[in-house]
Amino acid sequence: MNGYQRVMKALRFEPSDRVAIIPELIQHNLEVAGQTHGAYSSDPNVMVQVILEGLKAYETDAVYVSSDNYLIVEAMGGKVRLPQDAPPVLLKTAVDCIEDAVELEPLDVTKGRIPVILEATRTLRKILGDEIFVKTCIDSAPFSAAAALLGPQEFMINLIDEPELCHDFLKICTESAIRYGLAAAKAGAHGLAFGDSASVLINRNMYQEFALPYAKQAIAALKEQTGLPVFYHVCGDTRHILDLMMETGADCVEIDSMVPMALAKETAAGRCAVEGNVSTIEAFYQGSAEDVIRETNAIIDLFGNQGGLILSSACEIPRHTKRENVRALTDAALNYPYKGGSA
């Protein structure tokens, strides 16, 4: 069984030969490949090289095509600086006020660095075929895209002061997410992923009004128009909105380490797969390979071999994480003693 097949089995709640593995590797792969973030973020050939070096080192079931959270902002008029060897830095938002935000045109996928992601996706799919799952990040779900385009503080203030204008703005961001996803699908992605981490900052009622409907709309459109699975990620402690995240229609909801995986499994209740959530800091970065293996085994214990789980880090693995700790995730999955043997 190959990596693509394992991921699809997990999403369909079907037994597999072992759990599917998709750690969130961006900056750590730069360490493995000996490349700079500036080159990686701006050159699709460097991005492909870095991703393939990580795949070779860790034998994951998928590659994660992603750079940073400012691609949509940059393409829609924001200013971004690319340091030589640090993540991109946002210098200026795309707009300064909600009145200007509602005048924005939806995303043009030919602008900014979005073509870098699309070309890297295209090349990786040609190289990997249907052996390894190509998971392409299309940046941000509508709510988080709006927060980035206008600035989080300004956007949050306007959720209260100008809610109708915010809804109009979120419609533009929804169309932008759909356009990006369609372009990534056309480039050859096997699955689409976006984050909505700004939504963890609002309460449950506000999430229901301003984040959930637009995430649902974008995900439904992408699934209908591409036939691809969609992954939805929110960083942090999402227990106050966890059940609502499962209502987005995402095929897989990604879980941070603040949320017990048992609770995530219970809340998902077969509506979607879950991905995660080996601790990024305590296990991977500060811990040992044994810590990673212990957390990994505990997660697999919860799910057994019935699908519904993609094993991953809780969030992006830091650049200078010990390589043996990252490798331990794969080794734990390979060596996990399923009761009664492997499938």
* pLDDT value, residue 340: 42
Token pair of 154, please?
A: 């300004």
* pLDDT value, residue 161: 97
Look at residue 36 and tell me whether its pLDDT is greater than 70: yes
* pLDDT value, residue 337: 86
> Is the CB of residue 176 less than 8 Å from the CB of residue 72?
yes
pLDDT digits 0-9 by tens, 303-331: 988 899 999 999 999 999 999 999 999 99
> Is the CB of residue 197 less than 8 Å from the CB of residue 234?
yes
Q: What is the mean pLDDT of the chain?
A: 96
User: What are residue 153's phi and psi, to 5 degrees?
Assistant: -65, -45
Q: Tell me the average pLDDT across 177-184.
A: 98
pLDDT digits 0-9 by tens, 238-275: 999 999 999 999 999 999 999 999 999 999 999 999 99
* pLDDT value, residue 338: 74
Look at residue 287 and tell me whether its pLDDT is greater than 80: yes
Token pair of 79, please?
A: 């200013």
d(CA 82, CA 41) in angstroms, rounded, equals: 8
Task: Kindly report the number of other CB atoms within 10 A of residue 269's CB atom.
Answer: 10
Cα–Cα nearest to 82, from 64, 68, 66 = 68
Look at residue 343 and tell me whether its pLDDT is greater than 50: no
> Is the CB of residue 230 less than 8 Å from the CB of residue 222?
yes
* pLDDT value, residue 339: 62
d(CA 300, CA 123) in angstroms, rounded, equals: 33
**DSSP 8-state secondary structure symbol assigned to residue 135:** E
Prediction pTM value = 0.96
CA 185 to chain centre: 15
d(CA 315, CA 256) in angstroms, rounded, equals: 6
Band of the pLDDT at 341, cuts 50, 70, 90? very low
> Is the CB of residue 128 less than 8 Å from the CB of residue 134?
yes
162, 229, 257, 294, 333 from 271: Cα distances, Å = 34, 13, 21, 27, 24
26, 67, 194 from 87: Cα distances, Å = 10, 8, 18
Look at residue 277 and tell me whether its pLDDT is greater than 80: yes
* Alpha helical stretches, state H, the chain: 3-11, 27-33, 37-42, 44-58, 71-75, 98-101, 114-128, 142-150, 152-161, 163-187, 204-206, 212-226, 242-245, 261-268, 289-303, 323-335
d(CA 107, CA 86) in angstroms, rounded, equals: 26
Look at residue 53 and tell me whether its pLDDT is greater than 50: yes
d(CA 157, CA 112) in angstroms, rounded, equals: 28
> Is the CB of residue 125 less than 8 Å from the CB of residue 189?
yes
Q: pLDDT > 90: what percent of the chain?
A: 97
User: What are residue 15's phi and psi, to 5 degrees?
Assistant: -60, 155
DSSP H or E segment with residue 155: helix 152-161
The single residue listed with the structure tokens 């940046």 is 139
d(CA 278, CA 95) in angstroms, rounded, equals: 37
